[in-house]
Structure 1
Amino acid sequence: MACNMLDSSLYRNSFSTPIMREIFDDRAIIQNILDIEAALAKTQGKMGDIPVEAADEIVKKAKVENLNVPRIEEGIIRVGHSLVPILKEFQGVCDKNYGEYVHMGATTQDIIDTAFMMSIKRGCEVIYKNMLETEQLMMDMAKKYRDTIMAGRSHTQQALPITFGFKVAVWVSEHRRNIERLEQCMVRCFAGEMGGAVGTMAGFGKDGLMVSDRTIEELDLIVPDISWHTSRDRIAEICTTLTIIAYSYGKMGNELAKLQMTEIAEVAEGFVKGSVGSSTMPHKRNPNSLEALQMLARLVKGDTESAIESMFCEHERDGALWKIEWKAVPEVVILVGTSSAKAKNVFANLTVNAAKMRENLDIQRGLMQSEGIMLALGKKIGKQTAHSSVYQICMDTFEQHADFCEMLLKNDIVAKNMTREEIQKILDPEDYTGHAGEIVDRVLAATANARTKYNK
């Protein structure tokens, strides 16, 4: 039975996805370790450091299905070492005693760091793919609702009219920056490690630099210029980048959940027939995915705070802080992988109620257009005087639950300088979305252009 929400058969799909669980599964990590040992042996065989026959046998047998995983677990418990039982099990399946040449010159942290980095890289590639697909969904939504008018809100209150396309375009722009942050990680942070006991590669002999570089290249990872046993900035950068991504999704989830509130009802996450919102209230349609995006962001932040502690690693090796990453970093990648998958699903199935958006614009009976009235009046009597006059009219309108147009016309200053027709035209929110549509166009054009750059 599982004792972790990431693996719980009951609840795991709220916190993880099948593909992310597979990437960080014990067998996947062991296979990564075998792939690293095979790459090292292959390199050393080509360079004459170990017999070619030994290298060939090591590469041939480097399959997790050849190993007894339960016996490895027993060995780790017995000897208290994270890698030696795996190496002994692997050595035992190699014929002609060729297993003696496994792990020549490497150190445990080389293998563990590189094994985790291989899975981190794969996990981030899944996240990146999800993000690109979500970006396209968001772009399509911003274009579709470019001119769909709704209430813009500040400090939770109605402010001025915007369009839903404009709102989504703000998210598109932020999401694009997050994609670029992840792209930068992908070209800078996914480094392998093959430095030997203290990073000097002494155990690899006179050709140590070449052994290290070629082994890491074989694994399709970045070759570092120096060992990073106690330089954990790459891991910290990956985690903080993923945290920003998760928080962006969490912010979107929070705002969409607010817009789904019964009293607002401007959007709703996709509803699957048969879904149950409450065990006692049959009418409920809860924003489950939108709430999940908020929950996942907060969990990611906690794990990232833990992972960053490893940046205090001391001297040339430090197990006390390094091992924090073993738990925290895979969880960061898994949780953000789940967040990116849920965000994609949200934007693929979001329901937009344009009629309700338009209806909500009239809740304050014209007060939302106070800025337009104040500016138009200000051109005739001065901005500061106009602001003072319109402010008092607004306060009276609000307190009396009155119609703003009628209250304006009752004011001598307004009546003397503006006609009913002028006021009614300004009070039409359809004519006061500024350059929202053009801004949406600009964001979409810039995003479309940026989407082509990384793969060039």
Structure 2
Amino acid sequence: MIPRYSLPEMSGLWTDEAKYASWVHVEVLACEAQARLGKVTDADLATIRTGRVPTPEEVQEQERTRDHEILAFLAAYTATLPDDAARWVHYGMTSYDLVDTALGHTLARSCDVLLAAAVRLRTALAAKATEHWDTVCVARTHGIHAEPTTFGQKMAGFALGVDRSVRRLRAARTAVAVGTISGPVGTYARIDPFVESYVCDALGLGVEPVPTQVVARDRHAELLSAVAVLGAVIEQIALELRLLQRTEVREVEEPRSSAYQGSSAMPHKRNPTSSERLCGLARILRANLGAVLEDVALWHERDLAHSSVERIALPDSLIAAHYQATGAAEVIEGLRVFPDRMRANLEQTDGLIHSSTVMLDLVAAGTEREKAYRTVQDAATETWETGRHLRETLRERGIETRPEQYDPERFLRSRAVIRERMETLLDVEN
């Protein structure tokens, strides 16, 4: 991922330096296990532990004569060790015993970083929902004014969407936090299963229960599916904020720094660029999911078609998702909300948003439903065309309505029930 959309706590896990450090860690742990089995002496193990993590440049230099990154890494790493100790490095292992076990550890740590950002976003949304639980605004369906709701309920719905994504990510973390050290085709032909158990336990990983040569790639697809869904949920939030920031609506405004400049040509512009950026990143996450789904089906016990894809898609998706979730949390935490503007928009359609309650009041008073609907619809059409209040166009049709029939609170009598649901779900340890 390009630096513009990278934050160090996530991108730092995916550098070549971090990868080779992780590979060294796995190799040392494997040697520790072999020492417990009596194959490696304590003296050789102590020497192996002193080995230096090779630099990316050193690995690249070795790869020029090997055309194989893992062999190049092993050559660069063991070059710092005496031969008697170096011979035990990678003993009985195949390349992807090293790569996939280290990858499982990196993916698990990446999930933890992303989960922290998603939880921060969930917390920000819940706080905004509580703050504005009674801030009345108009709900829109098909982009058209519908009935009153509250801004708090909008935010609560988003909070629970992020909460579901947190749950999906936690399940996906379990799926990818696995390793395998089982030999060339997963039969443990030249390595004791104890080595695998020891290494994976030390790294906090499970083991692939029925190994081939690699960890099953449906695990990675599950993770990127959860990541893409989180991205889509954030996109839904950001799209709502973009729509509410339009000039003719202007019910909210995303936070801006003192350095903000919206347009190179028009000084007045206050564009929703942060929200737009969040929407754009969701597209990358969805696209990468498609590529990783293609990696699930490999030839027989393994081919190499997945490697080039996941070298790009896994780090790019996790880095972009972390940036997106962090950015979304910052937007919600600093969001400006304009209740007066919400109230003005609520009244913009001259009582039309109360048409459903007026109709039901007629039905409750004894009018046949279809007649009540048509009567109110005809009056509403005239209100749309003339701009006269709905109660006036109804009066012309012989229907007298009372002021309380145009009170938004009639729509919101049950909002305490919804708030209780939100608080119950978000208070659960999750």
Report the TM-score, using the length of structure 1 for normalisation: 0.91
Aligned counterpart, 1:50: 40
- Kept in 1: contact 2:135–2:152 (CA 8 A): yes
* Letter matched to residue 335 of structure 1: A
Aligned counterpart, 1:426: 405
- SS across alignment from 1:394: helix
Aligned counterpart, 2:88: 101
Asked if 1:139 is matched to 2:126, the reply is yes
Asked if 1:127 is matched to 2:114, the reply is yes
Aligned counterpart, 1:212: 196
* Letter matched to residue 140 of structure 2: R
Report the TM-score, using the length of structure 2 for normalisation: 0.96
**How many Å apart are 1:278 and its aligned residue?**
1.2
* Letter matched to residue 40 of structure 2: I
Aligned counterpart, 1:196: 183
1:206-355 alignment, distance < 5 Å? 208-227=192-211, 229=214, 231-355=216-340
Aligned counterpart, 1:385: 371
Give, in whole Å, the separation in 2 of the partners of 1:108 and 1:323.
15
Q: Deviations over 1:316-363 (max 9, x none)?
A: 111023432121111111111111111111111111111111110011
Give, in whole Å, the separation in 2 of the partners of 1:261 and 1:249.
19
* Letter matched to residue 69 of structure 2: S
Distance 1:269 1:436, change over 3 A: same
- Kept in 2: contact 1:42–1:56 (CA 8 A): no
- Candidates 27, 30, 33, aligned match of 1:40: 30
Q: Deviations over 1:413-433 (max 9, x none)?
A: x2xxxx44x2x2111223322
- Kept in 2: contact 1:166–1:437 (CA 8 A): no
Aligned counterpart, 2:161: 174
* Letter matched to residue 411 of structure 2: Y
What RMSD, in angstroms, separates the aligned Cα atoms of the two structures? 1.5
Q: Deviations over 1:15-73 (max 9, x none)?
A: 22122221101100111111111111111111112222222222232x42xx2431211
Q: Deviations over 1:140-196 (max 9, x none)?
A: 111111111000010011100000011111111111111111121223331112121
Give, in whole Å, the separation in 1 of the partners of 2:289 and 2:43.
44
Give, in whole Å, the separation in 2 of the partners of 1:78 and 1:407.
86
* Letter matched to residue 215 of structure 1: V
- SS across alignment from 2:93: coil
Give, in whole Å, the separation in 2 of the partners of 1:427 and 1:21.
54
- Kept in 1: contact 2:350–2:383 (CA 8 A): no
- Kept in 2: contact 1:230–1:317 (CA 8 A): no
- Kept in 2: contact 1:374–1:390 (CA 8 A): yes
- SS across alignment from 2:179: coil
Q: Deviations over 1:355-405 (max 9, x none)?
A: 111110011010111001010011121222101111111112112222211
**How many Å apart are 1:434 and its aligned residue?**
4.0
Aligned counterpart, 2:391: 405
Asked if 1:160 is matched to 2:160, the reply is no
Give, in whole Å, the separation in 1 of the partners of 2:16 and 2:220.
20
- Kept in 2: contact 1:41–1:50 (CA 8 A): yes
Q: Deviations over 1:244-279 (max 9, x none)?
A: 011101111111111111111111111111111111
Give, in whole Å, the separation in 2 of the partners of 1:200 and 1:277.
61
Worse overlay, 100-109 or 68-77: 68-77
- SS across alignment from 2:92: coil
- SS across alignment from 1:159: strand
Give, in whole Å, the separation in 2 of the partners of 1:85 and 1:171.
48
Structure 2 runs not aligned, ≥5 long = none
How many residue pairs align between the two structures?
Answer: 428
- Kept in 2: contact 1:264–1:360 (CA 8 A): yes
Aligned counterpart, 1:75: 62
- SS across alignment from 1:312: coil
Give, in whole Å, the separation in 2 of the partners of 1:440 and 1:359.
25
* Letter matched to residue 223 of structure 1: V
- SS across alignment from 2:137: strand
Q: Deviations over 1:195-219 (max 9, x none)?
A: 2101111121xxx221211111112
Structure 1 runs not aligned, ≥5 long = 1-5
* Letter matched to residue 123 of structure 2: Q
- Candidates 400, 403, 426, aligned match of 1:447: 426
Give, in whole Å, the separation in 2 of the partners of 1:20 and 1:235.
17
Give, in whole Å, the separation in 2 of the partners of 1:311 and 1:438.
44
* Letter matched to residue 117 of structure 2: N
